[in-house]
Structure 1
Amino acid sequence: MRRQMLLAAAVVAAFTAVPAMSYAQGRRDPEAEQRKQQEEAAKKRRQREEWGDNQAPLQALRNAGPCPFVKSLYDAARYVEFKEGREASANVAWSGEIQGISAGCQYKDEEPIQLRMEVLFEVGKGPQAEGRQKTYRYWVAVTDRNRSVLAKETFELPVTFPEGEDRLYVTENINNITIPRASISTSGSNFEVLIGFEVTPQMAAFNRDGKRFRLNVGQASNTPNP
């Protein structure tokens, strides 16, 4: 899906703290956990190979200098929604993760920086999800090297899961990100472009604690949580 974004030079409100996914608390089988981590690592490698982490960045014209650094914010790169706020795999409703970002820019003389991004999202439907439709919200922000937010814009990502599917990949193309430059000597290295899900403070804390749940958490178990 293609998006357009025009960032003004005015300073806007700072980020809302953001979250990750987590593993359920309780008794664990160390060998099973190790196998699970190995499977997750292998899946990540396949995704990078299939989607294009090995591809060249988006084509850009010759620039007067380097492009801004583009990345996802750690606290906001993952999304997990629990029913009634209870942190357990059987209580997951919706989940999501930013799996990859490709970006390119162009600028010359005194022109502003024109940047575009291609973002790969992986989204999941958990045991507590109601229906097959979910609208995720994510933001893109431009900061200076001192981490001050210069501009920020929020987008919607509507998703419909086919019958019987609990995981999807969605690619978003965000075009026309315009970053004004103070002078001809101002290069792209003075800026960062960040992206993340819009999450609650609880989700943000969950991410910062390093907790995770698999995106496709599977069916709810009949065995009660310990």
Structure 2
Amino acid sequence: MRRLARSAIALFLAAAALVAAPSAYAQRGGDDGQAQADEAAKKQRSKEWDVVQAPLPGMRNSGPCPFVKSLYDAARYVEFKDNREATASVAYSGEIERISAGCSYRGDEPIKVVMDVLFQLGKGPQATSNSKTYRYWIAVTERNTMVITKQYFDLPAKFGDKDRIYVTEKISNIVIPRAKDTTSGGNFEILIGFDVTPEMAEFNRFGKRFRAAAGTGAVTGTTSAAAPQ
């Protein structure tokens, strides 16, 4: 399995009395060859995801883990040349395919969260390079209310002769302080999304989609990210 090296991520949370805001490029239609290629890519994705997924904390917690999800408006990245919403105008795309997370905390300890995030990244007809650095963010919020902290991170992708690749980001040791031992992890949310333009967010909001071209197959890379305690 190919591994991509990258620097560590830092996600800081200010200690406070916290109690408890808010899924690529694909082309319509397709023939049997496209369907077979999509199925093969799906199997490859599942196989690699099972391999790279990190073991998550298994200790008994004082309460539930924070809710972890992608924000709908930012879960996909579709970059069009000249903002033309057409298959032939796609330059680069991305989608948050899957998120796996676990946490641990007991007594008055802070909540420690680890996550594996599977990204599907695509190169379209208007791509100008075989590499692209995407940008995504992670936010910790009090559930359904205010954002506590939000940080942006780079996700480098090297396509080579592929038009689609899968990359897993391993994010470890996100630490959420608790004011008292009765503060449950269920009071918090961890949100993930691409850094998108207002036009991209609107495209996502209306549920517009394209089906990715079959290309020459899919590969998976794994990167590691650590958030210091």
Q: Structure 1 length as normaliser, TM-score? A: 0.77
Does 2:144 correspond to 1:146? Answer: yes
Q: Structure 2 length as normaliser, TM-score? A: 0.76
Does 2:202 correspond to 1:196? Answer: no
Alignment RMSD = 3.1
CA positional deviation for 1:176: 1.9
Inter-partner Cα distance in structure 1 for 2:34 and 2:116? 28
CA positional deviation for 1:41: 8.3
Distance 1:189 1:176, change over 3 A: same
User: Unpaired runs of 5+ in structure 1?
Assistant: 25-31, 219-226
Residue of structure 1 equivalent to 2:60: 62
- Corresponding residue SS for 1:195: strand
Deviations 1:99-121 (A, max 9, x none): 11111111111121111111111
Residue of structure 2 equivalent to 1:110: 108
Tell me the matched-pair count.
204
Residue of structure 1 equivalent to 2:203: 206
Is the CA contact 2:139–2:150 (under 8 Å) kept in the aligned structure 1? yes
Aligned positions of 1:41-60 closer than 5 A: 46=43, 49-50=46-47, 51-52=49-50, 58-60=56-58
Is the CA contact 1:20–1:210 (under 8 Å) kept in the aligned structure 2? no
Inter-partner Cα distance in structure 2 for 1:207 and 1:43? 26
Inter-partner Cα distance in structure 2 for 1:170 and 1:199? 19
Q: Which amino acid aligns with 1:46?
A: K
Inter-partner Cα distance in structure 2 for 1:217 and 1:130? 19
Distance 1:144 1:43, change over 3 A: farther
Identity %, equivalent residues: 58
Distance 1:215 1:139, change over 3 A: farther
Deviations 1:120-165 (A, max 9, x none): 1110111101111111000011111233111111100011111x21
Residue of structure 1 equivalent to 2:163: 166
Residue of structure 2 equivalent to 1:185: 182
Residue of structure 2 equivalent to 1:135: 133
CA positional deviation for 1:66: 0.9
Does 2:79 correspond to 1:73? Answer: no
